[in-house]
């Protein structure tokens, strides 16, 4: 098995180097059983009772995720939203939550619905604005400060360490949605965050064929045990085959993320130089307002997500998306194939996203081909 001296890329490529004890297989087996045999005295000699709580297929994947993020433990869920909602349901009634206005829209909408039901108190603040955050914090009452960096789809960057200092001083936990960065580019726990969330559907899996989510904790405390307890009772668990696919995808994680980030930066720089483009959102650009912070807390790149606003308003954005050939017009991020999405219509009324914004998920294709595709689509 891989040890603590190995690079994270080695841990991912070898899936921790575990070998199946029974067959000596290098590739981990799948355990589809929903239940486990009791001994005559009623005990469980295998240490497992029912797959809704524990499945041996999870062990390797959760351990690898915890190692990659530098956490004490990880839990897999049936989707990123299942991970987020399970955590939020563990909060006490009336808990105060602070979250950014620009963030993954489904989580933001769920937070708003919880607030509408008086389940939580919610303040939405500008992403990364420490002054507004400090004023919004209510010491002794604020339970969670939610961070998403870089933010989806507008690319705002939040200083994790500075946010942690303010939140912890007020007695609040910090949860970082690091889906866009992945542990390849940023490890929020090393900056003091308490929990990290990923939609593992995206670049962790990397092949757009698995729906999955994960939470990683800095410590096994009472809050973490409550999340683990609720996951079992809510049944928000990942299927064994999906878990196996996720682990398989993660073995190429460092190669895919590095390639996509390198290509995304070149595309962002190219878009930024075009007269047909009004604005580009990518923290790798030196002109991006969050570039200095991103360069300090991200290592090896700035992610696969590039958003931009072509001239011509919403109608122009639709036309550009429709002309693209290699960038497939579809929802999601982080696959090996590149995607484009006209984002505001997806989020619907009330979205803070500009109505002419196009979001690119940059894959691993040749950068020259992707830029040629954009050249054709952006023709005046």
pLDDT in tens, 128-153: 999 999 999 999 999 999 999 999 99
- Which pLDDT does position 240 carry in this prediction? 94
pLDDT tens string 317-336: 999 999 999 999 999 999 99
- Please check the confidence at residue 380 and state whether its pLDDT lies above 70: no
- Which pLDDT does position 4 carry in this prediction? 61
- Which pLDDT does position 2 carry in this prediction? 61
> Domains in the chain and their CATH numbers?
8-250 (3.40.640.10), 254-377 (3.90.1150.10)
b/e per residue, 197-208, with b = 16+ CB within 10 A?
Answer: bbbbbbbbbbbb
The verdict on whether 177 is a catalytic residue reads yes
* Catalytic pick among 58, 67, 104, 108: 104
* Site of tokens 């866009």: 180
Q: Is the distance from CB of 112 to CB of 105 less than 8 angstroms?
A: no
Please state, in angstroms and rounded to a whole number, the distance separating the CA atoms of residues 337 and 146.
30
Backbone angles phi, psi at 298, to 5 degrees: -115, 140
pLDDT category at 261 given cuts 50, 70, 90 is very high
Please state, in angstroms and rounded to a whole number, the distance separating the CA atoms of residues 378 and 354.
18
User: Quick one: DSSP state of residue 327?
Assistant: S
Least confident stretch, 35-49, 225-239, 255-269: 35-49
Mean pLDDT for 211-231 is 96
CB-CB neighbours of 20 under 10 Å: 11
- Which pLDDT does position 156 carry in this prediction? 97
Return the closest-CA partner of residue 81 out of 204, 213, 206, 195.
Answer: 213
Return the closest-CA partner of residue 155 out of 348, 285, 277.
Answer: 285
* Catalytic pick among 119, 173, 177, 359: 177
pLDDT category at 191 given cuts 50, 70, 90 is very high
Collapsed DSSP state (helix, strand, coil) of residue 122: strand
Return the closest-CA partner of residue 228 out of 241, 243, 217, 239.
Answer: 217
- Please check the confidence at residue 3 and state whether its pLDDT lies above 70: no
Mean pLDDT for 268-285 is 98
Collapsed DSSP state (helix, strand, coil) of residue 214: strand
Query: Could you tell me what percent of the chain has a pLDDT over 90?
Result: 86
- Which pLDDT does position 1 carry in this prediction? 60
- Which pLDDT does position 72 carry in this prediction? 98
The verdict on whether 202 is a catalytic residue reads yes
pLDDT category at 379 given cuts 50, 70, 90 is confident
pLDDT tens string 226-238: 999 999 888 889 9
- Burial class of 147 by CB neighbour count within 10 A (0 to 12, 13 to 18, 19+): buried
Please state, in angstroms and rounded to a whole number, the distance separating the CA atoms of residues 212 and 198.
9
The verdict on whether 266 is a catalytic residue reads no
Ranges assigned E (strand) in the chain: 73-77, 95-100, 120-125, 142-148, 173-177, 195-199, 213-217, 277-281, 305-310, 328-329, 339-342, 358-361
User: Quick one: DSSP state of residue 76?
Assistant: E
DSSP per-residue string spanning 83-106: HHHHHHHTSPTTEEEEEESSS-HH
Query: Could you tell me what percent of the chain has a pLDDT over 70?
Result: 98
* Site of tokens 């603040």: 125
The verdict on whether 165 is a catalytic residue reads no
Least confident stretch, 53-67, 173-187, 256-270: 53-67
Ranges assigned E (strand) in 101-212: 120-125, 142-148, 173-177, 195-199
* Catalytic pick among 67, 108, 187, 202: 202
- Which pLDDT does position 129 carry in this prediction? 96
Return the closest-CA partner of residue 356 out of 304, 308, 306.
Answer: 308
């Amino acid at each position: 098995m891989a040890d603590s001296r190995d690079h994270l890329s080695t841990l991912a490529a070898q899936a921790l180097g575990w070998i199946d004890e029974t067959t000596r297989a290098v590739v981990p087996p799948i355990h589809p059983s929903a239940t486990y045999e009791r001994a005559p005295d009623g005990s469980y000699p295998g240490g497992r009772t029912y797959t809704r709580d524990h499945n041996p297929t999870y062990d390797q994947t959760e351990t690898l995720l915890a190692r990659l993020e530098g956490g004490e433990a990880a839990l897999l869920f049936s989707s990123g939203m299942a991970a987020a909602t399970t955590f939020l349901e563990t909060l006490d009634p009336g808990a105060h939550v602070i979250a950014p206005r620009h963030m993954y829209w489904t989580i933001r909408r769920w937070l708003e619905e919880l607030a509408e039901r008086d389940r939580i108190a919610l303040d939405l603040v500008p992403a990364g604005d420490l002054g507004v955050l400090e004023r919004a914090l209510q010491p002794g009452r604020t339970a969670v400060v939610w961070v998403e960096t870089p933010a989806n789809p507008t690319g705002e960057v939040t200083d994790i360490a500075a946010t942690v200092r303010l939140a912890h001083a007020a007695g609040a936990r910090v949860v970082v949605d690091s889906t866009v960065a992945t542990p390849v580019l940023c490890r929020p726990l090393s900056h003091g965050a308490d929990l990290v969330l990923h939609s593992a559907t995206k670049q962790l899996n990397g092949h757009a064929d698995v729906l999955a989510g994960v939470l990683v904790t800095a410590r096994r405390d009472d809050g973490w045990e409550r999340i683990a307890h609720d996951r079992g009772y809510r049944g928000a668990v990942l299927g064994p085959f999906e878990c196996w696919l996720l682990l398989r995808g993660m073995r190429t994680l460092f190669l895919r993320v590095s390639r996509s980030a390198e290509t995304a930066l070149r595309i962002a720089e190219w878009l930024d130089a075009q007269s047909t483009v009004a604005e580009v959102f990518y923290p790798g650009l030196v002109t991006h307002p969050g570039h200095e912070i991103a360069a300090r807390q991200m290592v090896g790149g700035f992610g696969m997500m590039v958003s931009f606003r072509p001239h011509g308003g919403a109608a122009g954005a639709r036309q550009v998306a429709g002309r693209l050939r290699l960038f497939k017009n579809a929802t999601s991020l982080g696959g090996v194939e590149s995607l484009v999405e006209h984002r505001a219509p997806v989020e619907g009324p009330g979205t803070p996203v500009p109505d002419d914004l196009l979001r690119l998920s940059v894959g691993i294709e040749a950068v020259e081909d992707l830029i040629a595709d954009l050249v054709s689509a952006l023709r005046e």
